[in-house]
Amino acid sequence: MSNRRDAVHAILRQSEGFRSAQDVYAEMRAEGAKIGLTTVYRALQALADIGHVDMLRTDDGESVYRACASGHHHHHLVCRTCGRTVEVAGPAVERWAETVGSEHGFTEITHTVEVFGTCASCSEALKMAGASSSF
């Protein structure tokens, strides 16, 4: 019973962007892995706890996870159409967060920053499909 965490982590590592728990579960089952949904959730949470994966909530309330290339702090730039993700560092934001925090007397400041946009290829694609937004 090798730690299923490793199996789950492996899936995330071979994935490009963020994956939902259900998604990871589905893929593992598809690959023939014998694992339960419960275990996937537990593994994902454990992984997130020890900082081996990033975890965030999508706008529709689903938790998505991603194996980070590095353990250091960074943010994500996500294409709202195709989901492509780019890791970005933002010293400016870090400093800004610290600053506004302390200005208001806050300590132990953390922050959540997600940048969304439409990536080059998707905006191309949209230009064609669009033009019919009547509202």
Partner DNA sequence: GCGACTTTGACAACGATTTTCATTTACGCG
Partner DNA sequence: CGCGTAAATGAAAATCGTTGTCAAAGTCGC
Interface with DNA (CB under 7 A): 1-5, 20-22, 34-39, 41-43, 45, 60-63
Asked if residue 111 belongs to a known ligand binding site, the reply is yes
Applying CB under 8 A, does 130 fall inside the site for a copy of itself?
no
How far apart are CB 94 and DNA at their closest, in Å?
27
**Residue with tokens 């159409």, as numbered in its chain:** 81
Element (H or E) spanning 22, and its range? helix 21-30
Query: Mask: binding to a copy of itself, 103-122, rule CB under 8 A, as x and -?
Result: -xxxxxxxxxxxxxxxxx--
Contact 47, 53 (CB under 8 A): yes
Q: Which of 61, 71, 128, 130 binds a copy of itself (CB under 8 A)?
A: 61
Q: Quick one: three-class SS letters along 37-78?
A: HHHHHHHHHHHHHCCCEEEEECCCCCEEEEECCCCCCCEEEE
Contact 102, 49 (CB under 8 A): no
Query: Mask: binding to a copy of itself, 5-34, rule CB under 8 A, as x and -?
Result: ------------------------------
Applying CB under 8 A, does 100 fall inside the site for a copy of itself?
yes
Query: Side-chain half-sphere of 91: how many Cα atoms within 13 Å?
Result: 0
Asked if residue 94 belongs to a known ligand binding site, the reply is yes
Asked if residue 68 belongs to a known ligand binding site, the reply is no
Q: How far apart are CA 114 and CA 58, in angstroms?
A: 10
Interface positions with a copy of itself (CB under 8 A): 57, 59, 61, 63, 77, 79-80, 86, 88, 90, 92-93, 96-97, 100-101, 104-120, 123
